[in-house]
Structure 1
Amino acid sequence: MTEHESIFDGVTSREVSKVAALDIGSNSFHLVVARIVADSVQILHRVKQKVRLADGLDDDDILSDEAIARGLSMLKVIAESLKGFEPDSVRIVATHTLRKARNARHFIKAAKEVLPYPIEVISGVEEARLIYSGVAHTNHADGQQLVVDIGGGSTEFVIGKGFTPLLCRSLQMGCVSYTQRFFSTGE
């Protein structure tokens, strides 16, 4: 994928009838199933569930068995929505928690038993680029804009113009990770 492509660029309605994108995030898992019609994306189905994967990261960056089980349980639900999809019409990305977890391979190996599609652990910059692409393609503005996405484990900042991201940054500060770090007692 080039710097300016969206997750669905290059897909035409003649090639596939439906496409799916799954974000394995630090706080929630988000699946979008869509159809490409006349170069536009029509959302057919969404599943978004809070999983709090980042809540299971310990001080040594090991993902707990409980967090892994929560994630796999949600992936089983998502697998039902993906039945019948061709591998090239599904993209699954994992973000901050699986970038950080020293045992991320354990989670991904177990996830492959549930989902027959590759899981890509993306960089923070790629996460920022994809976020900007999604915003630019759904809320198009010609002028320069700032997009901020506060996730469970990281926050992405992107300055862009039109469909082009000009500056992408990802910081390791998210709502789950900072709640754990600074408000672990609930105060």
Structure 2
Amino acid sequence: MGNATSAIETSGDCHGTAARRQNNRDVFGAGVSAFRQELSGDGCPAPIPIREASMRARPRVVVRKRPLFEHEAAQDFDVLSCQGGTDVWGEGDAAALWVTRAMLAADHRTMYCEHHGFYADAVFGEAASTAEVYNAVLGGPLQHGSTTVLCFGQTGSGKTFTLAGIIDILREALPSGGGRWRVSALEVAGNAVTDLLHASA
């Protein structure tokens, strides 16, 4: 995990955390935009590579950021920033997802942004298509053996959307002959397990 801070050149209504974010969303949003520009330069900590040779058999961690819904964009600003590459299985650039917090200094007047980076093998921004995610995650492994894709996240984060899209592409990608393939898709919610390809299990 990485950390960074960026100053905001203004003072505004700083009473209460929720009010501070909402009343100064344009200010903090501009701070996030400025930080995203720094991510492509030398002013921000680079993601730490986690692809050591001794860990080639470990699970890969891939993050996909979904766009904000209209009601979310109307109430708040986007606090997630993507950094790095989308080469899941190769030796490309490391990647990170940065989360920005709207902060207030001890003087109760100066606002600033605090950024926390979480490292991954690949990070896909909101503009990435499901086909891009599929090609990066399953394009290579399907040529070498079995693969498991585990989608994890809170309700509404895009797990079903991503997995359903991957299944649709997979149907077209699997060869019709010359091999034996087995595909299963399960949804685990609490104590319930649902077979997404057939009847409930």
State the TM-score bracket (shorter-chain normalisation).
under 0.3
Q: Which has the higher contact order (CA 8 A, sep 6+)?
A: 2
Query: If the length of structure 1 is used for normalisation, what is the TM-score?
Result: 0.26
Query: If the length of structure 2 is used for normalisation, what is the TM-score?
Result: 0.25
Q: Which has the larger radius of gyration?
A: 2
